Amino acid sequence: MDQPRARVLSGIQPSGQKHLGNYFGAIAQYLALQDEFPGECYFFIADYHALTSLRDPPALRESVREVARTYLALGLDPHKACLFRQSDVPEVTELMWLLASVTGIGLLERAHAYKDKVDKGLKPSVGLFTYPVLMAADILIYQATLVPVGKDQLQHVEMAQDMATHFNEAFPTDPPPLCRPEPRLSSAAVVPGLDGQKMSSSYGNTIGIFESGKALKKRTGQIVTDSTPLGAPLDPDKCNVFALLKLVLGPEQRDELAGWYRAGTRAGQPFGYGHAKQLLAERIETHFAAARARREELVAHPEEVERVLAESAERARRLARRTLDACKRACGLT
């Protein structure tokens, strides 16, 4: 197979409204990769994977659309990166079978994500158990060399490396049909939620990327702080509001704000958490203003989103077919 020097791929869960943790922890890095590797970035919305937990067809459809709008609004450029539905390339499920045939049960039994879910009392489906095989097919079918993921997905990428090796060794051809992907961990720190824990849709402590106006002010107003009275000195490094503000301020503004915190005053007036929360709401609103407007346009023009998804899927599918054909030839299926 022709192997690219670098090809980036990642899957995005179709979990509807994305939050600031998703943006600063993942989306911003993905979008930066399209400038580093223009034309070689493949991002797909993992709707097959979502079926292991979601049984609500309208909700799944709408979540997929919302995720696509979110990425496009935030700057995904379809000329530089493909953005498509996983299920629009059904070849991945066929490659999954080929990989499953060379994968030992033991490898899957060691998956942390699977074990955690079972430990929490979830009755596992075969789909949940074989989730890492589908994920490996996702990665390997596009000959991806670089897979940006969060820490929780690292083991799954390592499993994809193992499956590529097992397949190439089981069916040796020259060149081997599958190439080895490398994970790339995002270096961003964990973004705290309203309660100071990691921001996560499963904890209900999120601020949505596109929240604005009163709703946004209400959210920032809910951020947990200590009870230091207005005008007393505050420690910025122990404050969730400051941690979030740091993400949307430049370095000079950040230092100035830290000064107000430590002094407990701003321009001779008392400064407290309430002011910081107000500032945070304003800053989030301006930081994402252009993206919010673009998202509104996409809501009004769903055909534009569908066009990007369809065109990207076509390109991705061509690539997927080539890999699948090579794998089928290697194992004697054609």
Residues that bind ligand ADP (CB under 6 A): 13, 15, 21-22, 25-26, 150, 188, 190-191, 198-202
135 binds, among ligand TRP, ligand ADP, none (CB under 5 to 8 A by kind): ligand TRP
- Inter-axis angle of helices 154-170 and 112-119, nearest 10: 130
For ligand TRP, which residue of 139, 146, 244, 309 counts as binding (CB under 6 A)?
A: 139
Q: Check binding of 45 to ligand TRP (CB under 6 A).
A: no
- φ/ψ region of 267 (left if φ > 0, alpha if ψ in -120 to 50, else beta) reads left
Specify the 3-state DSSP secondary structure of 11. strand
Report the nearest approach of ligand TRP to the CB of residue 152 (Å): 7
Burial of 311 (0-12, 13-18, 19+ CB in 10 A): middle
**Between 20 and 279, CB nearer to ligand TRP:** 20
Q: Measured between alpha carbons, how far is 74 from 67 in angstroms, rounded to an integer?
A: 11
Q: Measured between alpha carbons, how far is 96 from 67 in angstroms, rounded to an integer?
A: 25
Report the nearest approach of ligand TRP to the CB of residue 210 (Å): 21
For ligand TRP, which residue of 138, 177, 236, 309 counts as binding (CB under 6 A)?
A: 138
Q: Measured between alpha carbons, how far is 37 from 76 in angstroms, rounded to an integer?
A: 13
Question: Please, what's the largest Cα pairwise distance for the chain?
Answer: 79
With DSSP H G I counted as helix, E B as strand and the rest as coil, what are the percentages for the chain, rounded to 5? 60, 10, 35
Report the nearest approach of ligand ADP to the CB of residue 186 (Å): 6
Measure the CA angle with vertex 106, ends 102 and 107; round to 5°.
65
Q: Check binding of 95 to ligand TRP (CB under 6 A).
A: no
Contacts of 120 (CB under 8 A, 6+ apart): none
For ligand TRP, which residue of 72, 89, 95, 135 counts as binding (CB under 6 A)?
A: 135
99 binds, among ligand ADP, ligand TRP, none (CB under 5 to 8 A by kind): none
66 binds, among ligand TRP, ligand ADP, none (CB under 5 to 8 A by kind): none
The residue nearest ligand ADP at its CB is 25
Q: Measured between alpha carbons, how far is 219 from 208 in angstroms, rounded to an integer?
A: 9
146 binds, among ligand ADP, ligand TRP, none (CB under 5 to 8 A by kind): none
Q: Check binding of 161 to ligand TRP (CB under 6 A).
A: no
**Between 20 and 95, CB nearer to ligand ADP:** 20
Question: Where do contacts with ligand TRP occur on this chain (CB under 6 A)?
Answer: 9-11, 13, 46, 49, 135, 138-139, 147, 149, 153
